[in-house]
Protein backbone atom coordinates (compact mmCIF):
# COMPACT_ATOMS: atom_id res chain seq x y z
CA UNK A 1 0.00 0.00 0.00
CA UNK A 2 2.75 2.44 0.99
CA UNK A 3 4.72 1.50 -2.13
CA UNK A 4 1.76 2.34 -4.37
CA UNK A 5 1.20 5.69 -2.68
CA UNK A 6 4.88 6.61 -2.80
CA UNK A 7 5.17 5.58 -6.47
CA UNK A 8 2.13 7.63 -7.46
CA UNK A 9 3.29 10.69 -5.59
CA UNK A 10 6.85 10.47 -6.89
CA UNK A 11 5.47 10.25 -10.42
CA UNK A 12 3.33 13.35 -9.94
CA UNK A 13 5.99 15.23 -8.00
CA UNK A 14 8.76 14.63 -10.52
CA UNK A 15 6.43 15.58 -13.38
CA UNK A 16 5.68 18.88 -11.62
CA UNK A 17 9.06 19.45 -10.01
CA UNK A 18 9.31 23.00 -11.35
CA UNK A 19 6.24 23.88 -9.29
CA UNK A 20 6.94 21.88 -6.12
CA UNK A 21 10.72 21.68 -5.91
CA UNK A 22 10.67 18.43 -3.97
CA UNK A 23 13.00 15.51 -4.68
CA UNK A 24 15.20 17.82 -6.76
CA UNK A 25 18.16 17.70 -4.37
CA UNK A 26 20.83 15.12 -5.10
CA UNK A 27 19.88 11.68 -3.83
CA UNK A 28 16.40 12.59 -2.54
CA UNK A 29 14.49 10.75 -5.24
CA UNK A 30 16.66 7.67 -4.67
CA UNK A 31 16.09 7.97 -0.93
CA UNK A 32 12.34 7.96 -1.38
CA UNK A 33 12.54 5.01 -3.77
CA UNK A 34 14.58 3.10 -1.21
CA UNK A 35 12.07 3.87 1.53
CA UNK A 36 9.33 2.48 -0.67
CA UNK A 37 11.24 -0.69 -1.51
CA UNK A 38 12.25 -1.45 2.07
CA UNK A 39 8.77 -0.91 3.47
CA UNK A 40 7.19 -3.03 0.75
CA UNK A 41 9.65 -5.87 1.32
CA UNK A 42 8.93 -5.82 5.06
CA UNK A 43 5.19 -5.94 4.43
CA UNK A 44 5.46 -8.73 1.86
CA UNK A 45 7.78 -10.77 4.09
CA UNK A 46 5.00 -10.82 6.67
CA UNK A 47 2.01 -11.63 4.50
CA UNK A 48 3.84 -14.01 2.11
CA UNK A 49 4.90 -16.33 4.93
CA UNK A 50 3.46 -19.81 4.34
CA UNK A 51 1.89 -19.83 7.81
CA UNK A 52 0.46 -16.33 7.62
CA UNK A 53 -3.02 -16.99 6.17
CA UNK A 54 -3.72 -19.73 8.68
CA UNK A 55 -2.76 -17.42 11.52
CA UNK A 56 -4.66 -14.42 10.15
CA UNK A 57 -7.86 -16.35 9.50
CA UNK A 58 -7.61 -17.98 12.94
CA UNK A 59 -7.17 -14.86 15.09
CA UNK A 60 -9.38 -12.41 13.17
CA UNK A 61 -13.14 -12.60 12.56
CA UNK A 62 -12.57 -12.44 8.79
CA UNK A 63 -14.82 -15.45 8.19
CA UNK A 64 -17.70 -13.65 9.89
CA UNK A 65 -16.96 -10.28 8.32
CA UNK A 66 -17.47 -12.01 4.99
CA UNK A 67 -21.05 -12.83 6.04
CA UNK A 68 -22.02 -9.42 7.39
CA UNK A 69 -24.90 -7.90 5.35
CA UNK A 70 -23.19 -4.52 5.01
CA UNK A 71 -21.11 -4.74 1.84
CA UNK A 72 -22.09 -3.62 -1.64
CA UNK A 73 -20.12 -6.50 -3.18
CA UNK A 74 -18.62 -9.83 -2.07
CA UNK A 75 -15.59 -9.70 0.23
CA UNK A 76 -13.64 -11.98 -2.12
CA UNK A 77 -13.01 -11.73 -5.86
CA UNK A 78 -14.15 -14.44 -8.21
CA UNK A 79 -17.26 -16.55 -8.19
CA UNK A 80 -16.23 -19.41 -5.92
CA UNK A 81 -17.32 -17.69 -2.71
CA UNK A 82 -14.42 -19.33 -0.93
CA UNK A 83 -12.47 -17.07 1.43
CA UNK A 84 -8.81 -17.19 0.42
CA UNK A 85 -5.91 -14.80 0.78
CA UNK A 86 -5.41 -14.44 -2.97
CA UNK A 87 -8.96 -13.23 -3.66
CA UNK A 88 -9.66 -11.21 -0.51
CA UNK A 89 -10.70 -7.61 -1.15
CA UNK A 90 -9.03 -4.64 0.54
CA UNK A 91 -11.91 -3.48 2.76
CA UNK A 92 -12.51 -6.76 4.65
CA UNK A 93 -8.74 -7.22 4.82
CA UNK A 94 -8.33 -3.94 6.69
CA UNK A 95 -11.59 -4.37 8.61
CA UNK A 96 -10.38 -7.61 10.19
CA UNK A 97 -7.06 -6.06 11.25
CA UNK A 98 -8.89 -3.20 12.94
CA UNK A 99 -11.09 -5.63 14.87
CA UNK A 100 -8.10 -7.27 16.56
CA UNK A 101 -6.33 -3.93 17.15
CA UNK A 102 -3.31 -4.49 14.90
CA UNK A 103 -4.23 -2.04 12.09
CA UNK A 104 -1.38 -3.51 10.04
CA UNK A 105 -2.29 -2.02 6.61
CA UNK A 106 -1.94 1.51 7.96
CA UNK A 107 1.63 1.36 9.21
CA UNK A 108 3.50 -1.96 8.91
CA UNK A 109 6.77 -1.50 7.01
CA UNK A 110 7.09 2.23 7.67
CA UNK A 111 9.23 1.70 10.75
CA UNK A 112 11.64 -0.68 9.03
CA UNK A 113 12.21 1.74 6.15
CA UNK A 114 12.62 4.89 8.23
CA UNK A 115 14.74 3.18 10.87
CA UNK A 116 17.17 1.75 8.30
CA UNK A 117 17.58 5.07 6.52
CA UNK A 118 18.04 6.95 9.79
CA UNK A 119 20.73 4.47 10.81
CA UNK A 120 22.55 4.86 7.49
CA UNK A 121 23.17 8.59 7.68
CA UNK A 122 22.58 11.59 9.96
CA UNK A 123 21.87 13.53 6.79
CA UNK A 124 18.74 11.46 6.21
CA UNK A 125 17.23 12.65 9.49
CA UNK A 126 17.59 16.25 8.35
CA UNK A 127 15.99 15.39 5.01
CA UNK A 128 13.05 13.60 6.65
CA UNK A 129 12.46 16.51 9.02
CA UNK A 130 12.55 18.93 6.10
CA UNK A 131 10.11 16.77 4.15
CA UNK A 132 7.77 16.54 7.13
CA UNK A 133 7.76 20.29 7.69
CA UNK A 134 7.57 21.38 4.06
CA UNK A 135 6.13 18.54 1.97
CA UNK A 136 2.41 17.86 2.40
CA UNK A 137 2.60 14.34 1.00
CA UNK A 138 5.33 13.10 3.35
CA UNK A 139 3.69 14.78 6.33
CA UNK A 140 0.38 13.13 5.44
CA UNK A 141 1.98 9.68 5.20
CA UNK A 142 3.59 10.01 8.62
CA UNK A 143 0.49 11.52 10.22
CA UNK A 144 -1.75 8.79 8.82
CA UNK A 145 0.69 6.18 10.08
CA UNK A 146 0.69 7.89 13.47
CA UNK A 147 -3.07 7.71 13.69
CA UNK A 148 -3.16 4.00 12.90
CA UNK A 149 -0.30 3.31 15.31
CA UNK A 150 -2.13 5.24 18.03
CA UNK A 151 -5.23 3.12 17.46
CA UNK A 152 -3.16 -0.05 17.59
CA UNK A 153 -3.22 -1.79 20.97
CA UNK A 154 -0.76 -4.66 21.10
CA UNK A 155 -1.71 -5.89 24.57
CA UNK A 156 -5.25 -6.40 23.35
CA UNK A 157 -4.03 -7.96 20.10
CA UNK A 158 -1.92 -10.40 22.13
CA UNK A 159 -5.09 -11.83 23.69
CA UNK A 160 -6.06 -13.17 20.26
CA UNK A 161 -2.70 -14.99 19.96
CA UNK A 162 -2.94 -18.11 22.09
CA UNK A 163 -0.96 -20.45 19.85
CA UNK A 164 1.32 -18.92 17.21
CA UNK A 165 3.45 -16.09 18.65
CA UNK A 166 5.85 -15.62 15.74
CA UNK A 167 3.79 -13.07 13.85
CA UNK A 168 2.81 -11.14 16.95
CA UNK A 169 6.47 -10.79 17.91
CA UNK A 170 7.33 -9.52 14.42
CA UNK A 171 4.55 -6.95 14.64
CA UNK A 172 5.66 -5.78 18.10
CA UNK A 173 9.22 -5.22 16.83
CA UNK A 174 8.01 -3.30 13.79
CA UNK A 175 5.70 -1.21 15.96
CA UNK A 176 8.63 -0.16 18.14
CA UNK A 177 10.71 0.75 15.09
CA UNK A 178 7.85 2.84 13.75
CA UNK A 179 7.40 4.57 17.10
CA UNK A 180 11.11 5.33 17.48
CA UNK A 181 11.57 6.66 13.96
CA UNK A 182 8.35 8.67 13.60
CA UNK A 183 8.58 10.36 16.99
CA UNK A 184 12.21 11.20 16.20
CA UNK A 185 11.39 12.78 12.85
CA UNK A 186 8.26 14.61 14.01
CA UNK A 187 9.96 15.56 17.30
CA UNK A 188 7.19 14.40 19.63
CA UNK A 189 7.04 12.11 22.66
CA UNK A 190 3.86 10.20 21.82
CA UNK A 191 1.81 9.55 18.71
CA UNK A 192 -0.57 12.39 17.82
CA UNK A 193 0.94 14.91 20.24
CA UNK A 194 0.37 17.38 17.40
CA UNK A 195 -3.33 16.44 17.28
CA UNK A 196 -4.60 16.28 20.88
CA UNK A 197 -8.27 16.05 19.85
CA UNK A 198 -7.83 12.69 18.09
CA UNK A 199 -5.30 11.58 20.70
CA UNK A 200 -7.75 12.19 23.56
CA UNK A 201 -10.61 10.62 21.61
CA UNK A 202 -8.65 7.37 21.18
CA UNK A 203 -7.64 7.32 24.85
CA UNK A 204 -11.24 7.95 25.90
CA UNK A 205 -12.68 5.15 23.76
CA UNK A 206 -10.04 2.51 24.53
CA UNK A 207 -11.34 1.40 27.96
CA UNK A 208 -14.79 0.83 26.49
CA UNK A 209 -13.37 -1.16 23.59
CA UNK A 210 -11.25 -3.61 25.61
CA UNK A 211 -14.24 -5.63 26.95
CA UNK A 212 -15.61 -5.98 23.42
CA UNK A 213 -12.29 -7.40 22.23
CA UNK A 214 -12.05 -9.85 25.13
CA UNK A 215 -15.64 -10.89 24.47
CA UNK A 216 -14.85 -11.40 20.79
CA UNK A 217 -11.99 -13.76 21.61
CA UNK A 218 -14.33 -15.87 23.73
CA UNK A 219 -17.13 -15.81 21.16
CA UNK A 220 -14.82 -16.92 18.34
CA UNK A 221 -13.50 -19.74 20.50
CA UNK A 222 -17.00 -20.94 21.37
CA UNK A 223 -18.11 -20.68 17.74
CA UNK A 224 -15.22 -22.90 16.60
CA UNK A 225 -16.06 -25.48 19.28
CA UNK A 226 -19.84 -25.41 18.77
CA UNK A 227 -21.39 -28.88 18.46
CA UNK A 228 -24.47 -27.99 16.45
CA UNK A 229 -25.52 -25.68 13.65
CA UNK A 230 -28.13 -24.15 15.95
CA UNK A 231 -25.46 -23.18 18.46
CA UNK A 232 -23.23 -21.83 15.70
CA UNK A 233 -26.06 -19.74 14.27
CA UNK A 234 -26.87 -18.27 17.67
CA UNK A 235 -23.24 -17.43 18.30
CA UNK A 236 -22.92 -15.94 14.82
CA UNK A 237 -25.64 -13.41 15.57
CA UNK A 238 -23.84 -12.33 18.74
CA UNK A 239 -20.52 -12.16 16.88
CA UNK A 240 -22.10 -9.86 14.28
CA UNK A 241 -23.24 -7.51 17.05
CA UNK A 242 -19.80 -7.66 18.63
CA UNK A 243 -18.06 -6.84 15.33
CA UNK A 244 -20.35 -3.85 14.82
CA UNK A 245 -19.65 -2.69 18.36
CA UNK A 246 -15.88 -2.75 17.88
CA UNK A 247 -16.19 -1.05 14.49
CA UNK A 248 -18.21 1.75 16.09
CA UNK A 249 -15.73 2.11 18.93
CA UNK A 250 -12.79 2.19 16.53
CA UNK A 251 -14.75 4.48 14.18
CA UNK A 252 -13.56 2.37 11.27
CA UNK A 253 -14.37 -0.69 9.21
SS (H, E, C) the chain: CHHHHHHHHHHHHHHCHHHHCCCCCCCHHHHHHHHHHHHHHHHHHHHCCCCHHHHHHHHCCHHHHCCCCCCCCCCECCCCCCCCHHHECHHHHHHHHHHCCCCHHHCCCHHHHHHHHHHHCHHHHHHHHHHHHHCHHHHHHHHHHHHHHHHCCHHHHHHHCCCCCHHHHHHHHHHHHHHHHHHHHHCCCCCCCCCHHHHHHHHHHHHHHHHHHHHHHHHHHHHHHCCCHHHHHHHHHHHHHHHHHHHHHHCCC
Mean pLDDT, all residues of the chain: 88
Domain boundaries of the chain, sorted by first residue: 2-60+100-194
Q: List pLDDT tens digits, range 118-170.
A: 999 889 999 999 999 999 999 999 999 999 999 999 999 999 987 778 999 99
Taking 60 as the threshold, does the pLDDT of residue 108 lie above it?
yes
pLDDT of residue 243: 96
Query: With 60 as the cut, is the pLDDT of residue 17 above it?
Result: no
Model confidence at 19, pLDDT cuts 50, 70, 90, reads very low
For residue 1, is pLDDT > 70?
no
- Average pLDDT of 214-242? 96
pLDDT at 89: 85
In the chain, % of residues over pLDDT 90 = 73
Per-residue pLDDT, 5: 72
pLDDT band for position 23 (cuts 50, 70, 90): confident
Averaged pLDDT for residues 169-178: 98
Instruction: Tell me which of 74-83, 202-211, 224-233 is least confident.
Output: 74-83
Residue 48, pLDDT > 60, answer yes
Choose between 16 and 130: higher pLDDT.
130
Amino acid sequence: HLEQIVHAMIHVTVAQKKETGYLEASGEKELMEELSQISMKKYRDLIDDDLFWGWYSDITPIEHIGKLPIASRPVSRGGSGKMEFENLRAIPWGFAWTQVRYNIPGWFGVGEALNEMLSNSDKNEKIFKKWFNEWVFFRTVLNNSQRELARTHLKTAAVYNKQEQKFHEQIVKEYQKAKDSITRIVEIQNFLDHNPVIQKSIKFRNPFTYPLNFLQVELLKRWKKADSELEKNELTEVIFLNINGIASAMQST
